[in-house]
Amino acid sequence: MTVSRALAQLAAEGLVVTRPGAGAFRARPRPSAAPAGDTSWQEVALSADGAADLVPRSVDASGVLVSLAAPPSGVVEFNGGYLHPSLQPERAMAAALARAGRRPGAWGRPPMEGRAGAAGGGSRAASAAPSRRPRY
């Protein structure tokens, strides 16, 4: 192996930095990888092994059950991910979904090149034209 190839390999590995006309220099050390996060909670959630020789596990689900319970009357919670029934536009969403589902080609694969006149029209059209509300 030649010195040139050895330097090229060391540069590819990030150990040296070469500067034409100046030489080869030791590269700055790479920052160490961040420690892995705590994933121990997944052991219970993802375990499908019901072997009898394993130590039985118990999980306190009271915190989850509290967050899944219906809120008291008159309370609108914003932390559960579900809108209060009075805030859900059920009729409007049902009508919009029904219209969209009846459109020709709604259940087929779209063409790879996109559809002419589709809402958004791609990044070039989005930056050049004002946005318009699609008609169903």
pLDDT digits (tens, 9 = 90+) for 15-50: 999 888 888 899 888 777 777 777 777 776 676 554
Dmax (CA) for the chain in angstroms is 80
Query: How many CB atoms neighbour CB 101 within 10 A?
Result: 9
- Residue 124 pLDDT > 60: no
**CA pair distance 102, 136, nearest whole angstrom:** 10
- Residue 81 pLDDT > 50: yes
Confidence of residue 130 (pLDDT cuts 50, 70, 90): low
Give domain limits for the chain.
1-28
Confidence of residue 100 (pLDDT cuts 50, 70, 90): very high
pLDDT > 90 in the chain, percent: 15
